[in-house]
Amino acid sequence: MSQTAATRYLSALADHGVDSIFVNAGTDFAPIVEAYAANAKDGGPALPKPVLCAHENLAGGMAHGAALVTGKPQAVMLHVNVGTANVSCAVANAARDRVPLLITAGRSPILEGGTTGARDLPIHWSQEMFDQASLVREFVKWDYELRDARQVDAVVDRALSVATAHPRGPVYLALPREVLAEADGSNTGERIRTAVPAAVHPDPDAVDQLADRIAAADFPVIVATASGIEPESVYLLTRLAEQFAVGVADPWHRYLNIASNHPNRLGPDILGVLKKADVIVFLESDVPWIDAHGSPQPDCFIAQVGVDPLYSAYPIRSHRSDLNIAATPTAFLARLTAALSERARSIDPARAERIHAAAKAHHDAIAAIRTQETAPDSDAPITKNAISAVLGELLGEDDIVFNEYVATPCLLNRTQPGTYYFLPASGGLGWGLPAALGAKYAAPDRTVVATLGDGAYMFANPAACHHAAAKHDLPVLTILANNCNWWAVDLATQLVYPDGRADAEDRFSNLSPSPEFAAYCTASGGYGVTVHKRSELKPALEEALRVVREEGRQALVDVRCV
């Protein structure tokens, strides 16, 4: 077989550093399948490794997790419109988390005959759409359809350049079957490579204005939600907090932004920060506060900092700000550190004591919870805090946790960058386990744990997830906080109607009876156990971690809790 556009496409991905494609295949994949086969027989160059996924949400979630761990864009390929529809939730997650993904899908053949790849099955008529990309256009930065074999290099370069340029995010590319089957007509010379800016640097005058405010403040706080997406920013934020007596809070944080045990960490209590702080810097915080719960003091100076501090992709967001600074977290923190160094002598020496006292109160409260929840008491019901406290004792400092709603991060003892990830801001459930599998695929030597509620676990298409763990040798530990209930539904109802009359069944949140979830894991060759008593919790987690680390098998611990 001569080289085709499909071969050129795959080699272009490899040239751009994409070493895997998370795939859920269909009739549109024929040229891709043949390209791999021909390349292998002809001894061609290394192409991205296809990672077969039995569901599109799994493919998108695995790509998301792999991108978080590697810091590199990942590629996904799916089946025409139906595959695009199934991956749309994962695309929303990647968009709100600013994760660079190249989402590709085949397109029903355009021609009804007369060429290789033309229509030859009934679905090629019924699956065609007037605008297939419209299924995900709300969330992607760019979408296109490959139109000619001669433009493959330019299209791949454009797609990955847009995905990795700030603000990063997913892009979408449709690949018609006939075009993929065309002979490679591209120039065989040097490939196209667009230089993409690695950072967004802040306005120096704006940073100086902010540094003046922080230096003169009584209780300045940086509120970090997603700055830890750049692991190098964690060190910079830590050093800045220590050198200049600045508090750090992390409500609703989706990454580890500062070590959980840092003496300047005020924890997730945003209401406490709003009451005390006279200067607040919201760093990559898409929802700084919620007016229904509390607002900053009128005389508090508010700065909002991020790649896109206005969050222009959000239709409405009107939190006040006295200063907006566009910058990547690392670039901003480096410049702010330099500016504060010039003003260090003007900082009140007693400020550090005030920050440390407030932070100590938080750490003491967490220590009390940990002591209470790890005390041996077989009669007490198991709580989510108990699961987190016990797990926190067992994790190594380099282990990675993907948390979908249930773990209490302050109890997990996460101190290293890139060891904690939370459900993206879009709230697309079914993310945690696929993302954990993708992280394990990208970092096979690290222990990866997914902490999920029973509802989030069911959203993840667990049979497909455990199949992928077995097929691709991905020993991930899944821990379920199983209360047969959708907590988020109950919470939302109670917030709107605090004196409402609905019981659990009326609130559409009762998930009982619970399946024997451990069987999903054992059916794919893993270790599964159900925990009913608090005295069983620690031994079950210890054994599950041993199975994952020593036997190299996946494990699931189904914890029946309140």
pLDDT tens digits, 394-406:
999 999 999 998 9
The mean pLDDT value for 103-115 works out to: 94
- What backbone phi and psi angles, to 5 degrees, belong to 338? -65, -40
Task: Give the mean pLDDT of 143-151.
Answer: 96
Does 497 have pLDDT greater than 70? yes
What is the model's pLDDT at position 485?
86
Q: Is the pLDDT of residue 154 over 60?
A: yes
Beta pairing, strands 527-531 & 477-482: unpaired
Domain boundaries, the chain: 5-181, 204-356, 375-560
Give percent of the chain with pLDDT exceeding 70.
98
Give the whole-angstrom CA distance, residue 469 versus residue 448. 12
Superfamily per CATH, domain 375-560:
Thiamin diphosphate (ThDP)-binding fold, Pyr/PP domains (3.40.50.970)
pLDDT band at residue 499 under the 50/70/90 scheme: confident
Q: Which residue, among 159, 154, 158, 64, has the nearest Cα to 105 in the 3D structure?
A: 159
| pLDDT at 2 exceeding the cut of 90 | no
375-560 shares the fold of 204-356: yes
Average pLDDT over residues 83-107: 97
**Does pLDDT of 331 surpass 50?**
yes
Q: Could you report the per-residue pLDDT of 477-490, keeping only the tens digit for each?
A: 999 999 998 878 88
The confidence score (pLDDT) of residue 126 equals: 94
- Span 169-223, pLDDT tens digits: 999 999 999 999 999 977 766 778 899 999 999 999 999 999 999 999 999 999 9
pLDDT higher than threshold 70 for residue 87: yes
pLDDT recorded at residue 1: 45
Distance CA 335, CA 211 (A): 10
pLDDT at 71: 97
How many beta carbons lie within 10 A of that of residue 560, not counting itself? Answer: 18
Fold of 204-356: Rossmann fold (3.40.50)
Look at residues 83, 49, 81 and name the one whose alpha carbon lies nearest to residue 66. Answer: 49
Strand extents, DSSP E, 53-195: 74-78, 101-107, 143-145, 171-176
**Domain 5-181: top CATH class:** alpha beta
- Distance (Å, whole) CA 91 – CA 84: 9
pLDDT for res 395: 98
Alpha carbon separation from 162 to 171, 259, 312, 473 (Å, rounded): 7, 32, 17, 33
